[in-house]
Amino acid sequence: MSDVVNLNTLICNPVTGVCEVPEPESGVCDSGVLAKNKPIRIIYYTDPICSACWGIEPQLRKLKLEYGDYYEIEYKMGGLLPSWECYNDEELGKPADIAHHWEEAGSYYGMPIDGDIWLEDPLSSSYPPSIAFKAAQMQDEEKALRFFRRMKEMVFLLKKNISKWEWIEKAAEEAELDLVQLNKDFEGDAQQLFEEDLKSGKQMNVRGFPTLFFTDKEGNRLVLFGVRPYWEFEETLHALCPQAVKHPVTKTHEGLFDFYPSLTTHEFAVITDRHDNDALEILNELHKLKYIEKCLSKRGALWIKKN
């Protein structure tokens, strides 16, 4: 990418809830092919280091539990940070300037984010983890999603530089991906798949992340842009699929941690309709009972089911 852009592409605006990107060329929206057996298709433009996308993890996880029978979701990479050579902002022109913006975004959305990674081991680009995700998708979609989630946990909570292959490989190993095949695809066809994601994002006039396109079988489309409350996700789905019936979410820790082996405090709260303080009290009790592990970060904890 040769165009010079503004560093605001990396900074999540807490008012709009968007990690902004430069205005792309206009194009014709491609509705794509809908899932055969489900009435709604969601196309989700995101990026592994998008703090606003991390901010909607609770809503997406709850939507999957309550309405997963009614939609398929397709993840597309947005290319948030090609390289630091793209930026020329005099006031916000280096990785260290991102640190406090990340932590502000985390506090605003209730999701733990440690911005110190930009001070200690700043990422050079979001392209390597994005291409690695496309490579993982070539192997197995479910494992790819576990891999994508783990990379986000690593970068936002654990301060791991996921632009480096050692951490990409570690996340892939934990997701039980074939590492040899991942590396082969990363160097091969995944590059083209990533470029196709960038191209389709321009065609669909994606200007920031998260952007989610909801489309029904008749081609009707609604868009959610930025960090939105859960009721807006639910309302958007119902607008295109009025027959959708909410599946009751278990509020027992056994069922929830079986489905999502790792959860932040805010995710647990949103999914179970509790306040964060109440969720924290329950999670601390589960930790005392040795049902879950507690992975602490500067801005909050990740709770992980014990094997």
For residue 41, give Cα distances in angstroms to 68, 104, 129, 135, 165. Answer: 11, 32, 25, 22, 32
Short-list 52, 258, 261, CA closest to 156? 52
This prediction's pTM: 0.89
Residue pLDDT, tens place only, 218-264: 999 999 999 999 999 999 999 999 999 999 887 777 789 999 999 99
Domains and CATH numbers, the chain: 7-209 (3.40.30.10), 253-305 (1.10.10.10)
Residue pLDDT, tens place only, 140-182: 999 999 999 999 999 999 999 999 999 999 999 999 999 999 9
Q: What is the chain's mean pLDDT, rounded?
A: 89
Least confident of 88-102, 135-149, 263-277: 88-102
Q: Of 191 and 5, which is predicted with more confidence?
A: 191
Short-list 130, 92, 95, CA closest to 115? 95
CB-CB contact of 294 with 265 (8 Å) = no
| 34 pLDDT above the threshold of 50 | no
Mean pLDDT within 95-114: 92
Strand-pairing partners, residue 304, are: 262, 293
Q: Residue 300 carries which side chain, given as an amino acid letter?
A: G
Burial class from Cβ neighbours inside 10 Å (0-12, 13-18, 19+) for residue 253 reads: buried
Q: Of 250 and 60, which is predicted with more confidence?
A: 60
